[in-house]
Structure 1
Amino acid sequence: MGRAAHGADFLQLRIDDAPSGGRADWLARQLRLAIADGRLPVGSRLPATRVLAGELRVSRGVITEAYQRLGEDGHVVGRGRNGTVVVAAPAKARPAASPPPPPPGALFGTPPGTDIFDALRDAPARIDFSPGVPDLTAFPRTAWLRAERTVLRELSASAFGYGDPRGAPALRIAVADWLARNRGIRAAPGDVVIAAGTAQTLTLLGRVLHDDGLRTVAVEDPGSLGARQHLRNGGLDTPPVPVDADGIRVDQLRATDASAVLLTPAHQFPTGVVLGGERRRDLMRWATERDGLIIEDDYDAEHRYDRAPVPALRSLLAEHVCYAGSVSKLLAPALRIGWVFAPPKYRDALVAAKRFADLGNAVLPQLVLARLMESGALERQLRLLRGRHRRRRDAMIAAVGTHLPHAVVHGAAAGLHLTITFDAGFSDTDLAAAALARGVKVQPLSWHSQRPHRPGLVLGYAAPTATDIAEGMETLGETLRHLR
């Protein structure tokens, strides 16, 4: 008599088809296929690990490992008593024959500006490597709902009225405590103003500085095109100051007539360098001598993998630093919650600008976030994200080495993106255009610079799954070879 086959009613799985020693890999692959072809639609629930292990007659660890791999890919998420739920389907397979790339410059051949940036940002793509987005499938839905229920249960009726334009007192206290613990910043809750992300902070601050008579804010080069656009929208000039391996060139900053500068010192966007110790000291001297203002965008400060944290500039020279942060990279950009600590000289004007802009952020999400910060849930979320993002970073570095072997990788020690540079007889905008035609979205490095630079790309790795990273980088390598 032959050996009895072991299988499950669920998806008609037959564990005997799995290779010896590779059962978790086999099961994860079968589940991905079922999600991709619609047998497991988004919203469906996977069997409990104990139940499926019993049906297949394997250890529960095999099932747990397979589910964990799907979770790391962003296909499923564990929801406590509600089980493991499908939240996203894998990208559909790429056609066997890739379409030829469009003529160089066909999509992005005009000089970089708002219209082009918005067109690329909004363009649909099968695989999206846009920087600045965390793993959105990891959003702590269960913890958020639990905190929201607690807030609603305890909230008084009067709290549903118009709130303080500076932000909910509970969140300002929580933010001050969070930054004291995690960034070494000592500030009173009264110093905190809650804004709709760093984008609104720059818009409000630009208005305040313009009204105070400032017309120029120096910026890093390369540096964020989006940040530059917000400042220019406020009527401010943004002269570029070069960035090298130690951060902004303070000697070049001194050569400008600017008395304010916007920096991302913890993890410079987009190069990923950290502002060095001597540069920090020189920057402090510049601010003191010129009575200057440093706008510190603490971009990616929490997402560290291979290096120790660096102190925030605000912790070193509070009277000359306007500090800005948000939860867009910690939780989700959709929350639109950030904070700003302005020096006393600008604090009242900033609060007035916030009041006239929108009367203050929505109160309920602020209170829920405060609860997450106070309970330790946000620290737990950060630990989860660091592990997941590190694995995806490693996957992208490996894929770059395989498919773009001549590219140089920058800024891998922290953050949510890599920057690569390469030598080519065409522009990085041409490469971005050709890649987008094949369904892969990337950002040209040149868009973030006001001066000529070696061509490159800014590649976000936190949101795409490991599968998408491998496929997208293969497509990018093929595109680069076609253009050459």
Structure 2
Amino acid sequence: MNTWAIWAPDLHLDLAGRRAAGVGLRAALEDALREAAAGGNLPPGTRLPSSRALAADLGLARNTVAEAYAQLAAEGWLASRQGSGTTVAQRSPCAPPEPPPVRPPAPSYRYDLRSGRPDLDLFPRRDWLAATRRALDAAPRDALGYSDPRGRIELRRALAGYLGRVRGVRIDHERLVLCSGYAQGLALLAAVLHADGARTLAVEGYGLAPHHAAISAAGPATVPLPLDERGARTELLPGLDADAVLLTPAHQFPTGAPLHPSRRAAAVDWAREADALVIEDDYDGEFRYDRQPLGAVQALDPDRVVYAGTASKSLAPGLRLGWLALPRRLVEPMAEQKARADGQSGVIEQLALAELIGSGGYDRQVRRARLHYRRRRDRLAAVPADGPGEEELVARAARRGLALQSLGEFRHPLLGRGGPDEPSPALVIGYGTPSEGSYAGALAELAALLAER
């Protein structure tokens, strides 16, 4: 039986579904027309076909259609006049739907000094465009199709060389998996570890709650690892009964401390002895201002350390480019997890970054960004650091149109309070987001805030 009638405008009448549910022919037609009129698919005044025409379209007896029309006219859904045919009746307007609940508007800030956000004006638009053109010109035909979920080999090869040269990572391109940003890579890795039996991941006592949430959503619970001025206290790992630990060794976020060499070694020793894994988030590893660069922890034991990096700070988070350098045993399950998640990351962005690295443009961009942020950091450091408590300062700042964050916002909810190594209350101030033209105003507003009494 047909489920639609061929008159203009087209109208879907699902009679077959109703018939399958045991509804009779006439009742099925009445229900379908009533639903179309009530739902707006048949607006008031719409002229319906004659009972003969509709019967022919639907393969029904004419009497069945005529009786359905008569019943709906009696109910007030249709109007029938001699010589004018049958139309959908005019009806009183329905009561307007309940308005959705009013949500408080997001706060509007004149200046944004929140952390973890780069200066988007630094993105090398011309260099990126040129690299994209060169990459597309050189790309093989199959590059734009479905490919290896680990990512394009051009970028994996370029990254293997770059990471070895700049960060001391010991890796070959076969053990690199490209992801749509670091956050996705972390979530996929947590899912792989959970499928392999991992139940708990240790995380630094202060860090990004969304990352902890991504781990928990994948299965493992998170347990906090205390930290002090030398970074995460990795000597405490044996007492946490964790299957892996997530660290930011180059630049602990948000306190800024690098992980002490003895604690780097302690983390790797723990992983070997406990048959566990270290996940190294190389947060801001390319940006350093007041100390010699530290090589990647991954170099101490590539079979026990996963190295994670991203182009979100050096280029832009909108590119969604991140990477994981993996122990060999994790490459295949990670590739499978990536394939299930979204198939593959964007190919054009991968090819462009590979070209930018190969041409030396990425090195130039990192140096440019490092100098830019060094200057901003020095200007921020000159602001007198004084004022009331962190929570009160954040609230006062919001009233002045200044977006700030307190250190307490990054505290793991399970971290014990009052320990001897507990960081003092503080503000976490980012200096990447404001445009160059507004940065001076942002600092002036911050200085005025701190001077309030």
Match of 1:236 among 220, 224, 245: 220
2:352 corresponding residue in structure 1 = 368
Give distance in 2, aligned partners of 1:385 and 1:479. Answer: 28
1:440 corresponding residue in structure 2 = 402
Answering whether residue 211 of structure 2 is matched by residue 249 of structure 1, we say no
2:429 corresponding residue in structure 1 = 459
* Preserved CA contact (<8 Å) 1:396 1:469: no
Give distance in 1, aligned partners of 2:219 and 2:367. Answer: 40
* Preserved CA contact (<8 Å) 2:434 2:442: no
Three-state SS of the structure 2 residue aligned to 1:319 is coil
Give distance in 1, aligned partners of 2:427 and 2:308. Answer: 26
* Preserved CA contact (<8 Å) 1:395 1:469: no
Deviations 1:265-293 (A, max 9, x none): 00110111111111122222211111110
Three-state SS of the structure 2 residue aligned to 1:345 is helix
Structure 1 stretch displaced more, 219-228 or 364-373: 219-228
1:52 corresponding residue in structure 2 = none
Letter in 1 for 2:315: L
Shift of 1:235: 2.5
* Preserved CA contact (<8 Å) 1:217 1:261: yes
Give distance in 1, aligned partners of 2:378 and 2:167. Answer: 26
Calculate the aligned-residue CA RMSD, in Å.
2.0
Deviations 1:26-55 (A, max 9, x none): xxxxxxxxxxxxxxxxxxxxxxxxxxxxxx
Deviations 1:47-88 (A, max 9, x none): xxxxxxxxxxxxxxxxxxxxxxxxxxxxxxxxxxxxxxxxxx
Bigger CA radius of gyration: 2
1:69 corresponding residue in structure 2 = none
* Preserved CA contact (<8 Å) 1:432 1:443: yes
Give distance in 1, aligned partners of 2:131 and 2:440. Answer: 37
TM-score norm. by structure 1 comes to: 0.67
Answering whether residue 261 of structure 2 is matched by residue 289 of structure 1, we say no
Letter in 2 for 1:144: W
Give distance in 2, aligned partners of 1:457 and 1:430. Answer: 11
Give distance in 1, aligned partners of 2:451 and 2:364. Answer: 43
Aligned length: 342
Three-state SS of the structure 2 residue aligned to 1:318 is coil
Give distance in 2, aligned partners of 1:183 and 1:250. Answer: 22
2:246 corresponding residue in structure 1 = 262
Match of 1:214 among 198, 201, 218: 198
Match of 2:119 among 135, 149, 164: 135
* Preserved CA contact (<8 Å) 2:202 2:224: yes
Aligned sequence identity (%)? 42
Match of 1:146 among 112, 130, 133: 130
Structure 1 stretch displaced more, 459-468 or 176-185: 459-468
Give distance in 2, aligned partners of 1:365 and 1:251. Answer: 40
Call closer, same or farther: CA 1:358–1:247 in 2, change over 3 Å. Answer: same
Shift of 1:466: 5.7
Deviations 1:212-255 (A, max 9, x none): 12111011112222321211222321111111121111232222
Give distance in 2, aligned partners of 1:331 and 1:204. Answer: 23
1:205 corresponding residue in structure 2 = 189
Q: Give the alignment of 1:31-46 within 5 angstroms.
A: none
Deviations 1:73-131 (A, max 9, x none): xxxxxxxxxxxxxxxxxxxxxxxxxxxxxxxxxxxxxxxxxxxxxx99x7442111121
1:307 corresponding residue in structure 2 = 291
Three-state SS of the structure 1 residue aligned to 2:210 is helix
Structure 2 regions of 5+ residues with no counterpart?
A: 1-103, 418-422
1:165 corresponding residue in structure 2 = 149
Match of 2:314 among 330, 334, 353: 330
Three-state SS of the structure 1 residue aligned to 2:315 is coil
Give distance in 2, aligned partners of 1:436 and 1:205. Answer: 37
* Preserved CA contact (<8 Å) 2:121 2:435: no
Shift of 1:152: 2.2
Shift of 1:465: 4.2
Structure 1 stretch displaced more, 205-214 or 123-132: 123-132
Give distance in 1, aligned partners of 2:107 and 2:356. Answer: 34
Deviations 1:314-369 (A, max 9, x none): 11111110110010011000100010012223221111110000100011110000
Deviations 1:133-176 (A, max 9, x none): 22211111111111111122233333221121110010000110
